[in-house]
Amino acid sequence: MSDVYLNEKFIGTIKNPFNFINEIKEERRKGKLAKELNVLYDENSDEVYLDFSKGRARRPLILVRDGKSLVTEEIKKELKDGKIKWSGLVERGIIEYLDASEEENSLVALNEDELTKDHTHLEVGKIVILGLTTAHVPFANFGQSPRLNRGSKTQKQALGLYSANFLVRMDTDSNILHYPQTPIVRTFMHDLTNYDQHPAGQNIIIALMSYEGYNMQDSIIINKGSVERGFARSTFFRPYVSEELRYSGGLVDEICIPDKDIKGYKSEENYKLLEEDGITYPEAEIAGEEVIIGKTSPPRFLGELEEFSIAANVRRESSSMIKHGEIGKVDAVMITENEEGNKLVQVRIRDQRIPEIGDKFASRHGQKGVIGSIVPETDMPFTSSGVIPDLIFSPHSLPSRMTVGHLLEILSGKIGSLAGRFIDGTAFDAEDEGDLRKELLSLGFREDGTEKLYNGVTGEEYKVNIFIGNMYYMKLKHMVANKLHARASGRIQLLTRQPIEGRSKGGGLRLGEMEKDCFVAHGASLLLKERFDSDKTLLYLCEECGMLAIVDKYRNRKFCPKCGSNVEITPIELSYAFKLLLDELKAMCIYPQLKLKSRYR
Amino acid sequence: MIESYKGKIPDLLIEEFEKISKEDNLTKIQKEAVLKALEKRYDSYKVNPGEAVGIVTAESFGEPGTQMTLKVFHFAGVSELNVTVGLPRLIEIFDARKEASTPSMEIYLKKPYNKDIKKAKKLAALIKEVKLRELSNEFLINIIKGHIEISLNKRNMRDLGIKDDLMINSLKNKFKKTIVRKSAGGNIIIKPEGETILKDIYKLKEKVKETFIRGVEGITQVLPIKQNNEFVILTMGSNLKEVIKLDLVDETRTISNNIFEVASVFGIEAARESVVYEAKKVIEDQGLDVDVRHILFIADLMCSSGVVKGVTRSGVTSEKESVLARASFETPLKHLVNAALSGEEDFLNSVVENVILNQPVPLGTGLPGLVATMKKNVK
């Protein structure tokens, strides 16, 4: 007797579990039981589980009877003629959905020709071994698996048309590609996911060659002409939000141009973009440290301070400033109310991003790289028919990575653009390479995809034929404009007097321990000292006791708190961090004594 | 003429030069020119004053070290000897661990033996430690009679050429308070003297299993291999002191990979050589290239005090003069407090201290000072 559970609840026992589950499956296939029902017989615990609860991941499989797929030639013909669709196959019990538990009782074949009598199901296609994004990689079965992983990872970072209503949305940090295209070389998954509706790349001409060494180590060279025609141009959007909050005691925030006498008033220059309502106008040019939404807040701790300070009831400044280092234009201003009925202001900033040196690009095969040089169109190599590549890719990126799909995509992309058709590059099911080559030959090109190219500067013919073709390229979200970072002087930490950290705060870049070692190894001793001068301080030392003395600048008096003013007090230059170390030593009852001697003796 | 170059060029180079000049019948002028060029060349290889040799050495090991973690060389069951290699071994050498994680030896043989694989194999078998466990099938405790019965593995015994007399003798030597005899069935019976409880017999059984019968103690595996036209025995486990006592072993070349063992048997100079040899072996095994002078430098540093000291806070680093330099390495509190207790003074002569104080480090451009006579009154 085996126990039977329905949706994890015990409902009874059954004598012959095998017959029972087979009967259930048959009834379900006939349509007498719900298609959502899945059944599992666990032989170890002798229990039958029936389940039609929601939230289970299920996947479709073709049924197999006596070692033969139920998708027969007749059905294939019907499918071709459009007489039957997917839903019809499910209805007829040819395809069924299994959940993880029912799979335990099944034997699934990946290929039709490996079917045996024991098999119960057949996969719908070989592509199901790949995930959603990996299935978007054309000719994926020609590549190495780690490269496929990287290829699907880079596709997720590609800029494109993520949503058609982006103009009315206020997504944090979004990017829109200006002229997105649907790929010429596509997979079956592009149709399934409506890729045409939200493409994320462009079909470009790519040549596999080196050019003055500017595409070393995975960097790429792009054509300035292409950039000017709009290749890989994108817009970056960032919304800023401000809300009129209500506080206890009837006090509220106010969105306005802050008065000059409020606490924390910046400077008139910072507020110049604000209109009378305290909000910037659309299309306002933002060049740096400007306020976009002016706001004042009521003073903190009202009442307590009123007795002691006359300035206590002055309102505070709490405007929204543009993020450090960002520029752009005000794209849209939205004024509304939120759920609590507070006034809510959202201002969206837009910034056009034209490809520049350092922007990251990738093909769909895990071949990513940054722009090393943007070459004027006149200097780019060209073919005998006058075609100029948009991008020059280094051939050294290929042998060690073995991304054959990359090459096949270039080849088939060339055919696709010449013949004016899409090429199917679905993994395991792609168009045959031999046929593609023949087609290219019939189109009047060399079948291996190479062409004679001419040096764009000298006009000389290159001695070798160069592989050139079309390929789908993606601009990735990592752009130098978001990463560029330099600082001459700026804010410092209160405790250590060293520069603060972080790009967004305008901090410094740390010259760490290993970098220091590098300076030392080169013997650049004085340069190293200069680097570490960021926290240098002038201290006065009592030579009597070797501790820090006090300098009273008002009375122009130097003295040691221990030895008095009748001692030798000498100025010394040290890092402030070391002064802190001395202080900490003193706090642990260690007496650090500094003894001075002349440097020249 | 050559005499005048002695001291300027190493003797070894001069010797070689003399040999070559004789072969080629160089004239006096030619000799002079070659020597001059030689001196110039030799000088160009010398380290400049103010060169940061320490840090360059550290970086020369550090950089390939990072690569070693990435591509650990796997033998994947090919080698019978599984010796620690790569970064773990390098750390072991430079830290001067007392116990190597996989001690091993390279035993060189005296002349006729090193050419004949059969003889080398025979000797290897003699060196290999044999324990009673390997020569027996079963250890039975007879509760009623209160003894242990060892059924012998005749095949293994025949293979190793061990007679049961030897086993009985070694058992008798090791366990003085027992009666060891041969049973009628050819088994060995060992019985403790006097009254005993079962627990003691059980403990005895475990000890009996590990009885050392023949070979050199500690050497668990042997592997004779051909190396440069002669047969060498590689071992797992090491016992340098006992192995070099054996007649057929070439004690001038036999070494252990345990640096401390080498130091105690052959002395500190040998230990220094051993550090160099072992470190070089690791680096060459990994297909990396580190100049031997870096290794020599570390080996000198580790052995200069007369005992082997590791590059750790208790070893080489503890010898640093500067308190701040020691404190900046590891356990700063300990060093600062101890320095305060004894009133140590830091003269700021080295690199780290000066970086902490933000003063120029006395290296490279920071080394030369201004030499001038100052008037005494001017301050």
Q: Do B369 and A590 touch (CB under 8 A)?
A: no
Output the pLDDT for position B76: 46
Q: Same structural domain for residues A10 and A92?
A: yes
Residues of chain A with pLDDT under 70: 301-313, 599-601
Is residue A101 in some structural domain? yes
* Separation between Cα atoms, residue A167 and residue A308, nearest integer Å: 51
Question: Regarding predicted confidence, which is higher, B151 or A398?
Answer: A398
B372 touches chain A (CB under 8 A): yes
- Amino acid identity of A265? Y
Q: Which of A520, A534, A583 to mutate to test the interface with B (most CBs of B within 10 A)?
A: A520
Rg over CA atoms, chain A: 35
Question: Regarding predicted confidence, which is higher, B378 or A251?
Answer: A251
3-state secondary structure A120-141: CEEECCHHHHCCCCHHHCCCHH
* Separation between Cα atoms, residue A294 and residue A315, nearest integer Å: 13
What does the block give as tokens for A194?
Answer: 């409506």
Output the pLDDT for position B14: 87
Q: Same structural domain for residues A257 and A269?
A: yes
**By CA distance, what is A596's nearest residue in B?**
B347
Q: Same structural domain for residues A94 and A176?
A: no
Is residue A484 in some structural domain? no
Residues in chain A with CB shorter than 8 Å from the CB of B336 are: 585, 588, 590
Task: Select the residue of B355, B364, B374 nearest A516 (Cβ to Cβ).
Answer: B355
Q: Same structural domain for residues A6 and A125?
A: yes
Output the pLDDT for position A412: 94
Is residue A157 in some structural domain? yes
- In which residue are the tokens 């929601």 written? A54
* Separation between Cα atoms, residue A324 and residue B184, nearest integer Å: 96
- Domain CATH number, residue A275: 2.40.50.150
Q: Do B374 and A600 touch (CB under 8 A)?
A: yes
- The answer to pTM > 0.80 is no
Distance from CA of A526 to the nearest CA of B (A): 6
Q: Same structural domain for residues A338 and A364?
A: no
CB count within 10 Å of CB A572 equals 14
Q: Do A522 and B364 touch (CB under 8 A)?
A: yes
Q: At residue B371, does pLDDT exceed 50? A: yes
B53 touches chain A (CB under 8 A): no
Output the pLDDT for position A373: 94
- In which residue are the tokens 């060498």 written? B232
Distance from CA of B315 to the nearest CA of A (A): 22
Q: Which of A528, A574, A594 to mutate to test the interface with B (most CBs of B within 10 A)?
A: A528
Is residue A242 in some structural domain? yes
Half-sphere exposure of A214 (CA within 13 A, CB side): 16
Output the pLDDT for position A218: 92
Q: Same structural domain for residues A349 and A368?
A: no
Of the three residues A113, A129, A145, the one that is the final residue of a domain is A129
Task: Select the residue of B366, B370, B372 nearest A525 (Cβ to Cβ).
Answer: B366
B336 touches chain A (CB under 8 A): yes
Output the pLDDT for position A175: 93
Distances (CA, A) of A68 to A63, A78, A111, A501, B346: 9, 18, 12, 66, 87
Which residues, listed in sequence order, are joined to residue B234 by a DSSP beta bridge? Answer: B106, B223
Q: Do A521 and B361 touch (CB under 8 A)?
A: no
Arithmetic mean of pLDDT over chain A: 89
- Domain CATH number, residue A585: 3.90.1800.10
So what's the ipTM on this one?
Answer: 0.77
Residues in chain A with CB shorter than 8 Å from the CB of B367 are: 523, 525
Q: Same structural domain for residues A566 and A594?
A: yes
Catalytic residue IDs of A: 218
Q: Same structural domain for residues A226 and A366?
A: yes
Q: Do B365 and A524 touch (CB under 8 A)?
A: yes
Is residue A60 in some structural domain? yes
Is residue A482 in some structural domain? no
Domain enclosing residue A274, as ranges: 235-353
Is residue A110 in some structural domain? yes
Which residues, listed in sequence order, are joined to residue A473 by a DSSP beta bridge? Answer: A202
Distance from CA of B346 to the nearest CA of A (A): 9
B368 touches chain A (CB under 8 A): no
- Domain CATH number, residue A206: 2.40.270.10
Distance from CA of A590 to the nearest CA of B (A): 6
Distance from CA of B154 to the nearest CA of A (A): 47
Is residue A188 in some structural domain? yes
**By CA distance, what is A529's nearest residue in B?**
B360
Residues in chain B with CB shorter than 8 Å from the CB of A588 are: 336-337
Q: Do B336 and A591 touch (CB under 8 A)?
A: no
Q: At residue B378, does pLDDT exceed 70? A: no
Position B69 confidence tier, pLDDT thresholds 50, 70, 90: low
| Digit-coded pLDDT (tens) for A180-223 | 999 999 998 899 899 999 999 999 999 999 999 999 989 999 99
Output the pLDDT for position B24: 86
Counted domains in chain A: 4
Q: Do A520 and B55 touch (CB under 8 A)?
A: yes
* Separation between Cα atoms, residue B255 and residue B281, nearest integer Å: 13
Cα distance between the two ends of chain A: 101
Q: Same structural domain for residues A589 and A508?
A: yes
* Separation between Cα atoms, residue A479 and residue A485, nearest integer Å: 12
Distance from CA of B294 to the nearest CA of A (A): 14
Rg over CA atoms, chain B: 30
**By CA distance, what is A514's nearest residue in B?**
B59
**By CA distance, what is B339's nearest residue in A?**
A590
Q: Same structural domain for residues A244 and A216?
A: no
B345 touches chain A (CB under 8 A): yes
Question: Regarding predicted confidence, which is higher, B205 or A432?
Answer: A432
B358 touches chain A (CB under 8 A): yes
Q: Do A523 and B52 touch (CB under 8 A)?
A: yes
**By CA distance, what is B323's nearest residue in A?**
A592
Output the pLDDT for position B75: 47
Position B222 confidence tier, pLDDT thresholds 50, 70, 90: confident
* Separation between Cα atoms, residue A481 and residue A327, nearest integer Å: 10
Residues in chain A with CB shorter than 8 Å from the CB of B366 are: 523, 525-526, 529
Task: Select the residue of A533, A578, A595 nearest B356 (Cβ to Cβ).
Answer: A578
Query: Helix, strand, or coil here: B277?
Result: helix
Q: Same structural domain for residues A321 and A380?
A: no
**Considering only CB atoms, which residues of chain A are within 8 Å of chain B?**
516-518, 520-529, 532-533, 535-536, 573-575, 577-578, 581, 585, 588, 590-591, 595, 598-601
Q: At residue B123, does pLDDT exceed 50? A: yes
- Rounded mean pLDDT, B56-64: 90
- In which residue are the tokens 């190599």 written? A381
Q: Do B369 and A574 touch (CB under 8 A)?
A: no
What does the block give as tokens for A468?
Answer: 């050139």
| Digit-coded pLDDT (tens) for A17-27 | 899 888 988 88
Of the three residues A321, A353, A385, the one that is the final residue of a domain is A353
Q: Which of B358, B377, B378 to mutate to test the interface with A (most CBs of A within 10 A)?
A: B358
In this structure, are residues B357 and B344 in contact, taking their beta carbons and an 8 Å threshold?
no
Output the pLDDT for position B268: 94
Of the three residues A129, A159, A193, the one that is the final residue of a domain is A129
* Separation between Cα atoms, residue A80 and residue A63, nearest integer Å: 20
Q: Same structural domain for residues A375 and A347?
A: no
Output the pLDDT for position B77: 45
Distance from CA of A594 to the nearest CA of B (A): 9
**By CA distance, what is B359's nearest residue in A?**
A529
